[in-house]
């Protein structure tokens, strides 16, 4: 839906389209680090103010009797072309903010679930969420110094992942590494999209 364009000069270039990818995972796993590694500027932070019940995001009417809470999201931007802008959103970590995830996941190309092998269980909720939603995702094992090195198939088994879900090693601080993770995700999402299209045709 476009609106408010009446004073736009005739012949002006159309606005680009925005798309997004989510970076999920447990607290302290490196989500914002990865966003910053690959974005064109330092990560920005945006906040949603919510009522305690979590119903009706941004609805401030009648909140006299409720306390409010603020959910912060770190994000970054990559200008792909004149007509395509990619945003990377780090998901808020706390489980009670799932309804914020719903807003973020809507229309997302896919998600990167960052994992730390020292605290592998921290990424279970993210994986459960994206599996349940049917959002394409990959698991990227952030290689912290001092962390025990696991084989990727061990991680895959430990996470009880569908064998089609890519599991890759990464260094969330490194631009090239973060880029590779995103490309792996997009290729996986394309395959999934094609498979679903075929399944719908049968």
Any contact of residue 152 with other proteins (CB under 8 A)?
no
Q: Which is nearer to other proteins, 53 or 67 (CB)?
A: 67
- 3-class SS string, 11-42: CCCCCCEEEEEEEEECCCCCHHHHHHHHCCCC
| Rounded to 5°, angle at Cα 74 from 121 and 142 | 40
CB 42, min distance to other proteins, A: 11
Q: Which is nearer to other proteins, 134 or 154 (CB)?
A: 134
CB 45, min distance to other proteins, A: 6
| Half-sphere exposure for 154 (CA within 13 Å, toward CB) | 8
Any contact of residue 94 with other proteins (CB under 8 A)?
no
Assign 53 to helix, strand or coil: coil
Any contact of residue 52 with other proteins (CB under 8 A)?
no
CA distance 165 to 179: 18
Select the residue interacting with other proteins from 10, 53, 61, 198 (CB under 8 A).
61
CB atoms within 10 A of CB 53: 9
Select the residue interacting with other proteins from 27, 28, 46, 118 (CB under 8 A).
46
Token pair 């680090």: residue: 33
- Residues in contact with other proteins by CB under 8 A are 1-8, 14-20, 38, 44-49, 57-61, 63-65, 67-68, 70, 73, 75, 77-78, 80-81, 84-87, 89, 103-104, 106-107, 109, 136, 175, 179, 182-183, 186-187, 189-190, 192-194, 196
């Amino acid at each position: 839906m476009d609106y408010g364009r009446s004073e736009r000069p005739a012949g002006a270039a159309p606005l680009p389209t925005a798309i997004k990818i989510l970076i999920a995972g447990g607290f302290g796993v490196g989500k914002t680090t990865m966003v910053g590694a690959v974005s064109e500027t330092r990560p920005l932070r945006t906040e949603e103010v919510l009522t305690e019940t979590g119903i009706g995001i941004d609805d401030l009417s009648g909140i006299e009797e409720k306390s409010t809470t603020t959910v912060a999201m770190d994000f970054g931007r990559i200008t792909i072309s004149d007509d395509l802008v990619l945003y990377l959103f780090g998901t808020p970590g706390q489980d009670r903010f799932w309804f914020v995830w719903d807003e973020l996941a809507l229309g997302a190309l896919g998600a990167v679930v960052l994992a730390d092998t020292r605290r592998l269980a921290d990424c279970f909720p993210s994986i459960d969420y994206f599996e349940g939603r049917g959002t394409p995702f990959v698991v990227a094992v952030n290689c912290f110094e001092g962390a025990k090195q696991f084989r990727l198939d061990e991680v895959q088994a430990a996470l009880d992942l569908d064998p089609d879900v890519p599991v890759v090693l990464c260094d969330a601080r490194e631009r090239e590494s973060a880029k590779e993770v995103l490309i792996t995700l997009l290729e996986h999402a394309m395959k999934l999209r094609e498979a679903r299209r075929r399944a719908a045709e049968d």
